[in-house]
């Protein structure tokens, strides 16, 4: 079975500082990994994904994520946080083989960026 863990319910960061939202996963086979953002009272918006190749993936709104196979992690990062980045962030995993094509989502991490 595949699973995703987002160990932090909430991350607080000051505007202009770098941010990291953590995600670890467990799958059988190679993973496809995704990050989504959810603003209040909205659906989920796709940010970025890792399929294969370069471990550093760049996505929307200046976000990037680093795939680390040995640590089974896919942490979301941004060099300089904005107040408007405050939202709920979800990590998701889908197995390339031996697993389900149904993506499994983490519980979500609330990012709060303080002015």
Partner 1 sequence: GAGVSQSPSNKVTEKGKDVELRCDPISGHTALYWYRQRLGQGLEFLIYFQGNSAPDKSGLPSDRFSAERTGESVSTLTIQRTQQEDSAVYLCASSLTPAGSGNTIYFGEGSWLTVV
Find out whether 76 and 20 touch, Cβ atoms under 8 Å.
yes
Interface residue with partner 1, options 5, 22, 75, 96 (CB under 8 A)? 96
Find out whether 3 and 105 touch, Cβ atoms under 8 Å.
no
Interface residue with partner 1, options 36, 63, 67, 89 (CB under 8 A)? 36
What's the token pair of residue 4? 């995703």
Interface residue with partner 1, options 11, 23, 25, 34 (CB under 8 A)? 34
Question: Distance from CA of residue 85 to its chain's centroid?
Answer: 13
Interface residue with partner 1, options 23, 65, 85, 108 (CB under 8 A)? 108
Interface residue with partner 1, options 57, 95, 111, 113 (CB under 8 A)? 95
Q: Say how far apart CA 56 and CA 60 lie, in whole Å.
A: 14
Pairing of strands 10-14, 109-114: parallel
- By beta-carbon proximity to partner 1, the closer residue of 54 and 115 is 54
Q: Say how far apart CA 54 and CA 40 lie, in whole Å.
A: 32
62 in helix, strand or coil?
helix
- By beta-carbon proximity to partner 1, the closer residue of 5 and 82 is 5
Residues 53-82 that bind partner 1 (CB under 8 A): none
Binding site for partner 1 (CB under 8 A): 32, 34, 36, 41-46, 49, 51-52, 90, 92, 94-96, 101-108
């Amino acid at each position: 079975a595949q699973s995703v863990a987002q160990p932090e319910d909430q991350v607080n960061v000051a505007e202009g500082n770098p941010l990291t939202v953590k995600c670890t996963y467990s799958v059988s086979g190679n993973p496809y990994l995704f990050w989504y953002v959810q603003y209040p009272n909205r659906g989920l918006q796709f940010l970025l994904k890792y399929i294969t190749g370069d471990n550093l993936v760049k996505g929307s709104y200046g976000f990037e994520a680093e795939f680390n196979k040995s640590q089974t992690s896919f942490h979301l990062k941004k060099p300089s946080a904005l107040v408007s980045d405050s939202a709920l962030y979800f990590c998701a995993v889908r197995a390339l083989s031996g697993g389900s094509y149904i993506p499994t989502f983490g519980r979500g991490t609330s990012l709060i960026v303080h002015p």
